[in-house]
């Protein structure tokens, strides 16, 4: 019975006070953190610089998932990458990496 209670508990990042998970699966990256074509068009229409577009797209997805916008320095590069890749594809050849290091 000891293991049974543990199975019913939610992960911390799925509770009322969500936090960024330490590791993100490829499926979660695609389903949760990859911006839609509509979001990319919206952001592209408002912001000219590629790093700004990537930041805004990432923060929109984080706000949608977490309910708040964490500091970009706290965001794993794996979460930033889907926004960077989609933004670069939308504006072929334009853009620079916002990823740390």
What are 73-96's pLDDT values in tens digits? 999 999 999 999 988 887 764 444
Alpha-carbon gap, residue 77 to 18, rounded angstroms: 18
Query: In this structure, what token pair is assigned to residue 36?
Result: 């839609």
pTM, rounded to two decimals: 0.72
Encode pLDDT of 65-77 as tens digits: 999 999 999 999 9
Q: Tokens representing 87? A: 């933004």
Tell me the domain boundaries of the chain: 25-101
């Amino acid at each position: 019975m000891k293991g049974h209670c543990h199975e019913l508990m939610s992960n911390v990042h799925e509770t009322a006070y969500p936090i960024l998970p330490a590791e993100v699966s490829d499926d979660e990256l695609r389903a949760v953190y990859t911006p839609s074509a509509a979001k990319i068009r919206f952001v592209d229409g408002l912001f000219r610089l590629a790093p700004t577009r990537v930041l805004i797209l990432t923060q929109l997805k984080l706000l949608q998932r977490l309910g708040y916008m964490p500091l970009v320095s706290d965001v794993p590069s794996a979460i930033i990458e889907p926004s960077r890749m989609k933004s670069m594809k939308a504006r072929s050849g334009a853009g620079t990496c916002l990823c740390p290091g």
